[in-house]
């Protein structure tokens, strides 16, 4: 073999070896980067150390994770949305996941419990989280109902089942409009309690509200399956529960999550790029523009663009998440469109409008000034 040919093959071999070394180096660097997860909530997360239960499940399966939390008792999501401490915690790291904890009463009855509205709080927190890091995935824990529903309030007849179904419907609606993944905690609770014939203080403690250790463990299993898209069944961590009972909770949690990943909007957040950042505009082929004019006095135009054929829904909500207008619900071809929103019959204030296509959800703010 002539010298030039040998030299040529040697150079190719060296290049190949160099590429392999670089690839291995990157793999090592990636393996040394833990999944960073932040829990934001209140005593619902604080009871029984929910982040710690989740962490122990993850460590038993050798997940490389970093956990932090800010869960002071008595704080609602609306408080977190305006808290400089919460914002500073969000800005500490480029979190892979931020887990948000809701409250059942606020989620079920936004027109009655108006002091801490959930919908605008979720919008604000989503904006702050994604402003800090666009790739952060936001997971909202579907809340559970009071153990006695609303029967403890004079004149109310809503049972636990009634209240839980309302929470379910509102959470799905908010998820579709705002664009976040659901960890179906309350729905897993519902399945367990229904199968057990609603024993008192089984998943709730004696205040009919906060979680027992069983409730917290079930919540941790649901969050685990939501993040990792894996079953928790046979993970050898049961905290102080009996193994058979813990295994039952693992089974219910895993089935609740993994049998309905589209319903919980988990698929919308599966990474589709080599960079680790989901490109929503490329993935979903739609764009929602800021309304014009904004602020507006009586009416405004909402423009959007489709890159593929899809069913399109555009809705308007007030600060409490109450629907104020259903502007369009029809099949549309690719192209640019505009729809008029008439606010003459509404009060001054901030409103939200959302665009939903086959697999795209986005929401923007607009202000009505008369």
Per-residue pLDDT tens, the chain, 370 aa: give them.
Answer: 444 443 443 443 433 333 333 333 333 334 468 999 999 999 999 999 999 999 999 999 999 999 999 999 999 999 999 999 999 999 999 999 999 999 999 999 998 998 999 999 999 999 999 999 999 999 999 999 999 999 999 999 999 999 999 999 999 989 988 889 999 999 999 999 999 999 999 999 999 999 999 999 999 999 999 999 899 999 999 999 999 999 999 999 999 999 888 889 886 444 433 333 333 333 446 788 888 898 998 999 999 988 888 899 999 988 777 788 889 999 999 888 999 999 999 999 888 888 888 767 777 889 999 8
* CA atoms within 13 Å, Cβ hemisphere of 11: 6
Separation CA 356–CA 286 (nearest Å) = 9
Separation CA 183–CA 140 (nearest Å) = 6
The pLDDT value given to residue 26 = 32
DSSP string, 93-157: S--SEEEEE--HHHHH-TTT--SS-HHHHHHHHHHHHHHH-TTPEEEEEPPPPPTTTTTTSTT--
Provide φ and ψ at 139, rounded to 5°: -120, 125
- 33-269, what's its fold? Rossmann fold (3.40.50)
SS3 273: coil
Query: What are the CA-CA distances from residue 30 to residues 33, 35, 38, 219, 276 (Å)?
Result: 5, 10, 20, 29, 11
Contact, 229 vs 139, CB < 8 A? no
CA pseudo-torsion sign 64, 70, 76, 79: negative
**In terms of DSSP bridges, do strands 286-288 and 35-40 run parallel, antiparallel, or are they unpaired?**
unpaired
Separation CA 333–CA 344 (nearest Å) = 30
The pLDDT value given to residue 319 = 75
Contact, 128 vs 111, CB < 8 A? no
Separation CA 137–CA 180 (nearest Å) = 8
Instruction: In the chain, list all ranges with CATH 2.60.40.1930.
Output: 280-368
User: For the chain, where are the alpha helices, taking DSSP H only?
Assistant: 3-31, 43-46, 50-60, 77-82, 84-90, 104-108, 118-132, 160-174, 185-195, 213-228, 243-258, 280-284
Q: What is the architecture of the domain spanning 280-368?
A: Sandwich (2.60)
Q: Quick one: which of 278, 276, 275, 256 has its CA closest to 267?
A: 278
Query: What are the structure tokens assigned to 207, written together?
Result: 């205040």
SS3 204: strand
| Helix 213-228 and helix 50-60, axial crossing angle in degrees, nearest 10 | 50
pLDDT digits (tens, 9 = 90+) for 154-191: 999 999 999 999 999 999 989 988 889 999 999 999 99
Burial of 144 (0-12, 13-18, 19+ CB in 10 A): buried
pLDDT digits (tens, 9 = 90+) for 283-292: 446 788 888 8
Instruction: In the chain, list all ranges with CATH 3.40.50.1110.
Output: 33-269
């Amino acid at each position: 073999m002539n010298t030039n040919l040998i030299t040529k093959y040697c150079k190719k071999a060296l290049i190949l070896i160099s590429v392999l070394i670089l690839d291995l180096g990157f793999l090592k660097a990636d393996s040394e980067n833990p999944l960073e997860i932040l829990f934001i909530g209140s005593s619902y997360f604080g009871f029984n150390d929910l982040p710690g239960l989740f962490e122990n499940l993850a460590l038993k399966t050798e997940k490389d994770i970093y956990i932090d939390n800010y869960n002071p008792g008595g704080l609602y999501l609306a408080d977190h949305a305006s808290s400089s401490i919460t914002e500073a915690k969000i800005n500490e790291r480029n979190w892979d996941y931020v887990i948000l904890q809701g409250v059942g009463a606020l989620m079920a009855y936004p027109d009655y419990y108006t002091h801490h509205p959930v919908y605008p709080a979720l919008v604000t927190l989503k904006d702050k989280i994604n402003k800090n890091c666009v790739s952060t995935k936001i997971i909202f824990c579907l809340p559970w109902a009071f153990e006695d529903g609303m029967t403890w309030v004079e004149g109310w007849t809503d049972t636990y089942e009634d209240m839980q179904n309302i929470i379910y419907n509102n959470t799905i609606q908010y998820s579709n409009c705002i664009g976040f993944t659901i960890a179906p905690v309350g729905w897993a609770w519902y399945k367990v309690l229904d199968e057990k014939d609603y024993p008192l203080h089984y998943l709730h403690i004696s205040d009919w509200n906060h979680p027992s250790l069983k409730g917290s463990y079930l919540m941790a299993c649901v969050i685990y399956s939501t993040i990792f898209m894996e079953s928790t069944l046979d993970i050898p961590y049961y905290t102080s529960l009996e193994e058979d009972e813990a295994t039952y909770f693992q089974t219910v949690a895993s089935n609740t999550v993994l049998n309905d990943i589209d319903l919980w909007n988990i698929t919308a957040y599966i990474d589709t790029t080599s960079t680790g950042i989901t490109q929503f505009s490329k993935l979903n082929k739609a764009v929602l523009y800021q309304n014009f004019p904004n602020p507006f006095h009586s009416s405004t135009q909402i423009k959007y663009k489709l890159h593929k054929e899809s069913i399109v829904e555009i809705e308007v909500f007030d600060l409490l998440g109450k629907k104020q207008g259903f502007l369009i619900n029809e099949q549309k071809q690719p192209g640019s469109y505009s729809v008029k929103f008439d606010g003459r019959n509404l009060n001054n204030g901030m409103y939200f409008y959302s665009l939903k296509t086959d697999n795209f959800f986005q929401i923007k703010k607009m202000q009505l000034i008369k």
